[in-house]
Amino acid sequence: MSRVEQVIAARKAADSGALVGYLPVGFPDLQTSIDAAVALVENGVDIIELGVPYSDPVMDGPVIQKATQAALARGFKLGQTFEAVAAITARVDAPILVMTYFNPVLQYGVERFADDLLAAGGAGLITPDLVADEADDWLTASDRTGLDRVFLAAPSSTDARLELAVAKSRGFVYAVSTMGITGARADVDQAARSLVGRLRTAGATSTCVGVGISTGEQVREVIGYADGAIVGSALVTALADGGVGAVARAAADLAAGTVA
């Protein structure tokens, strides 16, 4: 099993679920984003999802868009992603999945990107705008390097597309809890529970639910039927409003929801 799969399996063995925490690289600046990611792990986050700022973030809601645009305005460069991964992995032992739209990877070079991510200590990629049947170059590069590849599945996906996402994903399958962009919501869409069930029928052994999760109680609800919960906007808001200390407190509150 990959490191991500090992973490999820250990959580499942403990009758719990994994907490995946998202933060963008370079927000509000590079060093603070590194410190904030470290704080996530030190306060109960099991897997880091490190977002690459991008000029056309079609899946991201307003909170994450504002943060990534601020990072770009400060001069973020793609190479800083690997710098951040290396700095974080030097301080905490948690797998880091880089969340990136695929155009930056193509521009950088798929094989080169995979090599540099591996060298930095990264665990793999989450690619929200790349579907498994159009990912041949990335599948080849990730097979060569052993990096995880996390594809998304939505409530609108056909059974055939779910089967493909399951077959090609490694680490886990990212189940999108609701149709639309990211952002904290009062209720996690009931469609997520049905989607996880369909993914299990398609053969998924590790499924994490994201989009809309913002409280420890929602984390507890999600890991009642899924293998992990992914939180982004709530953590980015905490970082924007209160810095690293606020992120640490928010992570601890969310991690409380993983306790069986």
Coil vs helix vs strand at 216: helix
CA trace torsion 249, 151, 121, 107 (10° rounding) = -110
For residue 200, what pLDDT is reported? Answer: 97
For residue 183, what pLDDT is reported? Answer: 46
For residue 185, what pLDDT is reported? Answer: 47
List the 47-51 sheet strands across, edge first: 148-150, 124-126, 96-99, 47-51, 18-24, 228-231, 207-210, 173-176, 152-153
For residue 62, what pLDDT is reported? Answer: 87
Q: Which of 5, 35, 49, 221 is catalytic?
A: 49
Catalytic residue list contains 60: yes
For residue 55, what pLDDT is reported? Answer: 85
For residue 188, what pLDDT is reported? Answer: 57
Cα 109 from Cα 237, distance rounded (Å): 32
For residue 199, what pLDDT is reported? Answer: 98
260 residues of the chain, pLDDT tens digit each: 999 999 999 999 999 999 999 999 999 999 999 999 999 999 999 999 999 999 876 667 789 999 999 999 999 999 999 999 999 999 999 999 999 999 999 999 999 999 999 999 999 999 999 999 999 999 999 999 999 999 999 999 999 999 999 999 999 999 997 644 444 444 556 788 999 999 999 999 999 999 889 999 999 999 999 999 999 999 999 999 999 999 999 999 999 999 86
Q: Which of 5, 35, 46, 60 is catalytic?
A: 60
Whole-model pTM over 0.75: yes
Amino acid symbol at 98: V
Catalytic residue list contains 217: no
For residue 61, what pLDDT is reported? Answer: 78
Q: Find out whether 108 and 58 touch, Cβ atoms under 8 Å.
A: no
For residue 54, what pLDDT is reported? Answer: 92
Coil vs helix vs strand at 217: helix
Superfamily of domain 3-258: Aldolase class I (3.20.20.70)
Domain boundaries, the chain: 3-258
Residue 133's CB: how many other CB atoms inside 10 A? 13
**DSSP letters spanning 92-132:** ----EEEE--HHHHHHH-HHHHHHHHHHHT--EEE-TT--G
Coil vs helix vs strand at 2: coil
174 membership: H or E segment, kind and range: strand 173-176
Q: In the Cβ-directed half-sphere of 243, how many Cα atoms lie within 13 Å?
A: 3
For residue 34, what pLDDT is reported? Answer: 98
Q: Find out whether 152 and 176 touch, Cβ atoms under 8 Å.
A: yes
